[in-house]
Amino acid sequence: MSLLARRWTLKRNCSLTPRQSAAVYALLCAASFGIALVFLVQGIWMVLAFALVEMTAVGMALLYYARHALDVETIVLDEGCLLVERWDAGRREEIRLDPYWTRILPPAPRERKLIELESHGRRVQLGAYVSEAMRTQVARELKQAIRSGLL
């Protein structure tokens, strides 16, 4: 990548990392099962059953959150190459487009549409992790950067 390359990073706004999610889950389990144990000692076993169901549901939700917390889309405009790199639940996808032939379709206002890049019949949608205002700004900046690089 050259020094003149432009880069845009579109990522989720997540407050917990996957490691922090695991720590939160461990604390929740300790509290829930601790309370259930007190009731179990008194002979009320239904509380333990409920705690198991509850912590299973919370664990599944936190697992989904943790898998997608690091999702990101990166756009790099370099000399003769427009590179789109996506990380989704740990899977990486890389798409290379020719900036000279790439059309940028900005998101339609109030329709929650994504940015579309189209080149040689190939279409790429971007911006699923950011707000509508951010998608519009990135589309405008990308269009301007491509235009200024080609003149």
**Is the domain of 47 the same as that of 81?**
no
| pLDDT of 15 strictly over 60 | yes
For residue 151, what pLDDT band results from cuts at 50, 70 and 90? very low
User: pLDDT tens-digit profile of 95-142?
Assistant: 999 988 999 987 777 666 899 999 988 989 999 889 888 998 999 999
Mean pLDDT of 75-85: 91
Is residue 99 in some structural domain?
yes
Domain final residue, candidates 48, 68, 88 = 68
- What confidence score (pLDDT) does residue 2 get? 59
Per the structure, the count of domains in the chain is 2
For 42, counting Cβ atoms within 10 Å of its Cβ (0-12 exposed, 13-18 middle, 19+ buried), the class is: exposed
User: pLDDT tens-digit profile of 32-62?
Assistant: 999 999 999 999 999 999 999 999 999 999 9
CATH of the domain at 113: 2.30.29.30
Q: Which residues pair with 92 in a beta bridge?
A: 87
Mean pLDDT of 12-30: 93
| pLDDT of 1 strictly over 60 | no
Q: What is the pTM for the complete model shown? A: 0.75
**Is the domain of 75 the same as that of 129?**
yes
**Is the domain of 125 the same as that of 139?**
yes
Name the residue range of residue 83's domain: 6-12+71-150
**Is the domain of 55 the same as that of 75?**
no
Contact status, residue 78 vs residue 143, Cβ threshold 8 Å: no
Is residue 1 in some structural domain?
no
Two structure tokens written together for 51 = 């705690």
110 or 88: which leads in pLDDT:
88
